[in-house]
Amino acid sequence: MSIPLLLRSAVFLAAVSCFAQRPAFEVASVRPSPDAGNSLNELDDGRQIVQTSPGSLTIRGGSLLVCIEWAYGIAPYQIEGPAWLKDAGFDIVAKAAQPVDDDRLRLMLRTLLADRFDLKTHPERKEMQVYELTLTKGGPKFHESTTEGSPMFASPGKGAVVGERATMSEFAEKISEALGRPVLDATGLKGRYDIHLDTSAYMATAGDGRVDAMSFLFNALQQQLGVKLESRKDTPEVLVVDSVEKTPTEN
């Protein structure tokens, strides 16, 4: 047997071994849900759509869009697929054989989606409008955090948005959720920061108690934080859904 053939055989056996060892839950239940969530945040009654603990994953009313979003750690605008992906909701309760972290749970959910919904995807780059988060001439109007802990974003009361111990990349990611477009950090700031925004003036402009997102993002950011958004074209990577079933296989 020639050396090249030996190498090809080794590669094939390694691929088979990797496939056989796909991260998978030990037990998993997938059922249609009366709830349907189009966002990873929460349902109308305040329940979190995705909850995890070491080795356990619970999804309540999560659409397939939500499931794919969480499994691959990407935003909705990075998923190219049929419009109905965000329609039906599912309740998923899954447990691993042993405690694992969220990164491993994401891989296990990918396997579950492939097995139960026959999900097939591939990555590709697509040209789209993106925004760059840059500093204004006056520079930032916020300061580095002096506290320890994980980054946190919250709305502690009407008319307030607070970010604590956040990098500018994390802040840009939060902005991208509101815009539905990638926001890239181009501020050059490397620390972790405490960020406070007053949204009350922008709630009034919406006329229905909600924040006028576009006005808020393009004006409040400059006035209150000393940063701005600049539009340009880029080719970020997206996940293309090649095929997927609307109904999962039975438990």
Q: Which pair of structure tokens corresponds to residue 96?
A: 């691993």
Note whether residue 250 is domain-resident.
no
Tokens of 17: 């071994």
Residue with tokens 């960020």: 195
The reply to whether 140 falls in a domain is: yes
| pLDDT score of 5 | 47
**Average pLDDT score, the chain:** 84
Contact 203, 186 (CB under 8 A): no
152 and 224 housed in the same domain: yes
Q: Which of 70-79, 156-165, 204-213, 217-226 has the lowest mean pLDDT?
A: 204-213
Query: Residue 213 class from Cβ within 10 Å (0-12 exposed, 13-18 middle, 19+ buried)?
Result: middle
Give the number of other CB atoms < 10 A from CB of residue 67.
Answer: 25
> What pLDDT does 12 receive?
44
* pLDDT higher than threshold 60 for residue 8: no
| CA 232/CA 63 separation, integer angstroms | 31
Q: Tell me: do 116 and 134 sit in the same domain.
A: no
One domain for residues 171 and 139? yes
| One domain for residues 89 and 147 | no
Q: Is 171 exposed, middle or buried (0-12, 13-18, 19+ CB in 10 A)?
A: buried
User: 0.75 cut: is pTM over it?
Assistant: no
Domain endpoint, select from 91, 122, 153: 122
81 or 197: which carries more pLDDT confidence? Answer: 81
Both 138 and 219 in one domain: the answer is yes
> pLDDT tier at 7 (50, 70, 90 boundaries)?
very low
Query: 174: which 2 tokens?
Result: 């939060």
CA-based nearest residue to 59, from 13, 105, 104: 105
Q: pLDDT > 70: what percent of the chain?
A: 81
Pair 180, 153: CB distance under 8 Å: no
Q: Which residue has the higher pLDDT, 33 or 12?
A: 33
Structural domain includes residue 249: no
pLDDT grade for 207, boundaries at 50, 70 and 90:
low
Whether 185 maps to a domain, the answer reads yes
Whether residues 159 and 202 fall in one domain: yes
- Domain span holding position 210: 128-234
Residue 46 has what pLDDT? Answer: 53
**Is there a domain that residue 248 lies in?**
no
Distance (Å, whole) CA 120 – CA 248 = 14
Spatial separation of the C-alpha atoms in residues 251 and 246, rounded to whole Å? 15
In a domain, 62, yes or no: yes
Residue 21 belongs to a domain: yes
Amino acid at 23: P
Q: Are residues 88 and 144 in the same domain?
A: no
Contact 251, 31 (CB under 8 A): yes
Summarised one tens digit per residue, pLDDT across range 212-246 is 667 777 888 999 999 999 999 999 899 999 999 99
Rounded to whole angstroms, how far apart are CA atoms 195 and 202? Answer: 17
Q: Could you give the CA distance from residue 241 to residue 65 in angstroms, rounded to a whole number?
A: 10
pLDDT of residue 101: 94
Strands ordered across the beta sheet of 89-95: 27-33, 89-95, 56-62, 50-53
Is there a single domain that holds both residue 102 and residue 140? no
Shared domain check, 223 and 190: yes
Q: Is residue 2 part of a domain?
A: no
Same structural domain, 37 and 86: yes
Q: Identify whether the C-beta of residue 58 lies closer than 8 Å to the C-beta of residue 93.
A: yes
pLDDT surpassing 50 at residue 17: no
Give the pLDDT score at 15.
Answer: 43
Residue 205's pLDDT is what? 54
Q: Which of 89, 122, 155 finishes a domain?
A: 122
Q: Are residues 19 and 115 in the same domain?
A: yes
Report the domain count for the chain: 2
Final residue of a structural domain among 101, 122, 143: 122
Mean pLDDT, rounded, for 56-61:
94
Surface-to-core class of residue 6, CB atoms within 10 Å of its CB (0-12 exposed, 13-18 middle, 19+ buried): exposed
156, amino acid identity? P
Residue pLDDT, tens place only, 93-104: 999 999 999 999
